[in-house]
């Protein structure tokens, strides 16, 4: 496949894989993972369990960290149907982060004009049959794959697959990152299978979803902002505020750089003034990981 798969400008025109060195450095071995799970701060865990109906629409349950040892938590993920994100790798696992940033620099160098100004990472440990729903990230992403196999579905970044009104809602934290999804989108997906040692990147904002291919998976998802992505996120935020006040803002895909920059400046003042309160509630947790139960999801406060 060739040609631009997105309506937004940027040096990355389509999904593509690159080599990385994180596997050979031992970061995805059981002993390393169990140790990091043992010491990782509980507030940096997101534990998700996704279910899908016949129309591909998702429902989400969330888990609390619970009291399992790192070794048992690892086992619960291997046996279950869990998606575990460890946020803040840049501070919580500095050795992995330093190695990943080296690999990132090499990948970035293959895209003339790409210049990340801020990077952050989450380590994802996920069960053999876990799937992540259709969504977009308001950032560039490099997905370093370390263990298992996963299939990435990357969709065009046009108004049909990625409506700006939905993007505004996500950027202004009025909803989580899920976009309206239709099974018909599957005809438009670019499908890439990821093996350990490969890192995948895709055009800024491109919608995507993930299916694990029957194996326990480990990936490091690195997101990054560039000045153009900051400007556009700011413009989307400003548009969300205008829309919430009954306005009909022009879509950012028709704006040139100076107008995007001006709307970014406006977004800083609006954020300072608290113009848009986040509507993402702190989730009530539904379960805690457990070994030897369905999906790896045990009852909360179960006596063990």
Least distance in Å: CB of 111 to Fe ion? 19
Least distance in Å: CB of 135 to Fe ion? 6
Least distance in Å: CB of 223 to Fe ion? 8
End-to-end CA distance of the chain: 52
Least distance in Å: CB of 243 to Fe ion? 24
Q: What angle do CA 13, 16, 18 make, to 5 degrees?
A: 130
Size of the site for Fe ion (CB under 5 A): 1
Least distance in Å: CB of 175 to Fe ion? 15
Backbone torsions φ then ψ of 245, nearest 5 degrees: -100, 15
Least distance in Å: CB of 141 to Fe ion? 6
137 near Fe ion, rule: CB under 5 A: yes
Q: Is 151 helix (H, G, I), strand (E, B) or coil?
A: strand
Q: Specify the residue, 71 or 137, whose C-beta has the smaller distance to Fe ion.
A: 137
Judged by CB under 5 A, which stretch of 106-114, 131-139, 278-286, 289-297 contacts Fe ion? 131-139
- Tokens 């690195």 locate to 222
Q: Specify the residue, 79 or 221, whose C-beta has the smaller distance to Fe ion.
A: 221
- β-pair partners for 298: 288
Taken in order 223, 287, 209, 128, is the CA torsion positive or negative? positive
Q: Scan residues 241-280 and list those touching Fe ion (CB under 5 A).
A: none
- Whose CA is closest to 8, among 215, 187, 256? 256
Q: Specify the residue, 108 or 219, whose C-beta has the smaller distance to Fe ion.
A: 219
46 near Fe ion, rule: CB under 5 A: no
Judged by CB under 5 A, which stretch of 8-16, 90-98, 134-142, 155-163 contacts Fe ion? 134-142
Judged by CB under 5 A, which stretch of 11-19, 55-63, 133-141, 266-274 contacts Fe ion? 133-141
Q: How far is CA 236 from CA 76, 252, 255, in A?
A: 39, 7, 11
Compute the distance between CA of residue 276 and CA of residue 279 in angstroms, rounded to an integer: 9
Q: Specify the residue, 29 or 137, whose C-beta has the smaller distance to Fe ion.
A: 137
Q: b or e along 42-72 (b: 16 or more beta carbons within 10 Å of the residue's beta carbon)?
A: eebbebbbeeeeeeeebeebebbbbebebbb
Q: Specify the residue, 199 or 242, whose C-beta has the smaller distance to Fe ion.
A: 199
Binding residues vs Fe ion (CB under 5 A): 137
């Amino acid at each position: 496949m060739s040609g631009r798969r997105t309506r937004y400008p940027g040096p990355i025109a389509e999904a593509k894989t690159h080599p990385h060195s994180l596997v050979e450095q031992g970061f995805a071995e059981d002993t390393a993972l169990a140790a990091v799970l043992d010491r990782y701060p509980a507030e940096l865990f997101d534990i998700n369990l996704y279910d899908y109906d016949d129309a591909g629409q998702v429902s989400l349950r969330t888990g609390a960290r619970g009291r399992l040892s790192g070794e048992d938590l690892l086992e619960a993920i291997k046996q279950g149907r869990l998606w575990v994100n460890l946020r803040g790798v840049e501070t919580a696992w500095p050795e992995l982060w330093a190695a990943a940033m080296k690999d990132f620099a090499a990948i970035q160098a293959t895209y003339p004009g790409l210049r990340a100004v801020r990077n952050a990472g989450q380590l994802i440990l996920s069960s053999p049959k876990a799937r992540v729903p259709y969504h977009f990230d308001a950032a560039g992403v490099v997905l370093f794959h370390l263990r298992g196999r996963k299939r990435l579905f990357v969709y065009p970044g046009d108004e049909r697959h990625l409506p700006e009104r939905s993007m505004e809602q996500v950027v202004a934290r009025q909803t989580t990152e899920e976009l309206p999804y239709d099974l018909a989108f599957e005809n438009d997906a670019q499908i890439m299978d990821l093996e350990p040692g490969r890192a995948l990147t895709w055009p800024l904002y491109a919608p995507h979803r993930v299916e694990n291919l029957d194996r326990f998976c480990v990936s490091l998802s690195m997101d990054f902002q560039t000045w153009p992505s900051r400007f556009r996120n700011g413009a989307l935020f400003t548009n969300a505020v205008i829309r919430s006040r009954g306005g009909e803002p022009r879509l950012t895909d028709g704006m040139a750089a100076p107008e995007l920059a001006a709307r970014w400046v406006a977004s800083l003042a609006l954020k300072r003034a608290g113009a848009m309160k986040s509507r993402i509630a702190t989730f009530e947790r539904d379960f805690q990981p457990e070994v030897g139960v369905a999906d790896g999801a045990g009852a909360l406060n179960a006596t063990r």
